[in-house]
Structure 1
Amino acid sequence: MAESISPMNGGSGTYSYARNSTWQRKGALIVEDAIKEAVMESLDLPKVLCDSNNTFVVADLGCSVGPNTFYAMDTIIEAVQRKCNNNSSLEFQVAFNDRIGNDFNTLFASLPEHGRNRNYFAAAVPGSFYGRLFPSSSIQIAYSSASLNWLSKVPEGLTVEGSPVWNAAKIHYSGAPDAVARAYEDQLEEDMEVFFRCRAREIAARGLMLFNMAVVPSRDVQHRMASMFTFIESILIDMVNEGVLAQERVDSFNIPIVFPCVDQVRRLIEKNKCFEIVKMEKVEIAGKRDSKISVMHIRAGLEGTLSHHFGSETVEQIFERAIQQQHNLKFNQIDISSTGIFVVLRRN
């Protein structure tokens, strides 16, 4: 991904992703049974192992720093073991992938001990999943959770004054003109075309691609996460009005995250023609969050990207204000059900 897009906060401190990703974990746990079902019913084990020398490779695309990735990998591998009746000759390898700047040190420091609490070999594969990562037909199952909403880069023209899609005084397409929203959609189209083309090369015939991502039912519906971005945007505008921050700094910043509608995701998969859609179902993440916890989640996910653009001192001020103004986060009034989809694809 572009250098201006930073990974989740590393380490295990107060603002780390490891300690502030319970919402993502909840979304992953909701699809746990669906993952098991997909492996048991849709994985053609003899076919995917025919050229693998009895090595079964699972890739987590956008793994971050854990521990969520460990739970998902255990679920997948345990399901494969049950499917093959615990064939002792089958060996497993997990390829943990994320951007080059990801905190792989913390990830592997917290990895369970091999042979006791971990039944797979582990490897780090740094790099953008909007490109090739693995040799041809070398992956039996690819998995991604809460990662595909991140674009490879900010859409072209959003930060260029005078451009038809210049997104002045905004940091996202929420509440922006339709042209800005279309620019985000166009970038998603470009990214997903590359993503599925690369995975079609890397996943073995009859292997699986499993992913979940945040979506909206239609273009005119705002995703709950958009309220978080609007909240940060309001803080930045306050800082501009107070002379703390230059207007140009806000005008030149956009968050490269998109929430596509379900039909768009389906169309992009079908456009590739290399995958069969086995399942595409809604994921309902119901519940309420304390506003302070919401601010911590925002910080864990966006602090690196904000710091890259505004600097760490400014970002510290942003989140100090966010805590002071947390009462403005009215998530309890927002319907947060049916906010995602879980997709099972099988390589043709």
Structure 2
Amino acid sequence: MTLIVFGIDAMDPDLVEPDRHPHLTLDSHRSIETIISASGEPNTHELWPTIITGLHPDEHGLVIEDGVAWDNQWLNLASDLAEGFLPKSVRTKIGMWLLNTTDQDAFRTPATYYSEHNLSTVFDGHEATAIGVPNYVTDTDETDREHELRKSMGDLFERDPDATGGHSSADPLAFYDQCVEMIMVRTARTRAAHYSSQHELVFGYTSGLDLIGHITYDWPGLQETAYDVVDGAVADLVEDLDDDDELLLVSDHGLQDGLHTDTAMVASTDPALVDGIESVLDLRETIEAALSDGRHVPAPRDINRERDAKQSARVKGQLEDLGYI
């Protein structure tokens, strides 16, 4: 029995329609509260560490300053040099320039950060795997196609404090296609981890919907289509589930008109999971309560050979279609 948590960054409860998106609402769904950062809006950098620790950003320490996360080697250097000389507004612009012109990823804090700061996470004490969860990187030398696409976007996705949502794109349609590929890659990786039967908790994540939302403020039809794409991707996850598996969808905030909103959402095949979640601070406790029942254990690979063969063929076919095998 496996609990699959799939993080869909910026999935907005106001933009999910049960009739149109049955796989984003599942058997039960609800809006939940999120946390506003120092920048005045919810921030991905802070919220996923909150989701996996159950702690407010001030407690886990992965916080942003004026909208820029100064926590990788380039930004730390710039911050150290600028701290005593430059006002915050100028430091923010430096941070945006560095994030546009280097291959550093602001969401790549290693998992060792948590043990080094005496912080526990939802992954501790469980047979669990984390797939792309922001600021929880188990192998800093390993990347996947979503990481590579994020690092190589160039002028397709540039930080622009004067643009709606703080970003601009030289070609929104090409950017949209790359983001859809991100969604498909992370869905396929999450499905493959579930298929392995080696984990009681599979926690996947994709940023594709968030990125699309930041650019499509002048292209609302693209954002609507993106929700249809994600619904179809999650449909494949649902099809893979065994009768006793559970799927929990999680977002960190919403996104409308290019800007983060202060409402997130959850949905699940198990209504009991949704009932216990009021805010992003509740997610860790809810996940751990589900895992504590003793039924979520890795299953022998030969427990159902017919099911394994069918599921393996579906996952392999999707990866082949994406050109990865």
- TM score, norm. by length of structure 1: 0.29
Q: Comparing both structures, which one devotes a greater share of its residues to helix?
A: 2
Q: Please say which structure displays the higher CA radius of gyration.
A: 1
Relative contact order, CA 8 A, sep 6+: which one is greater? Answer: 2
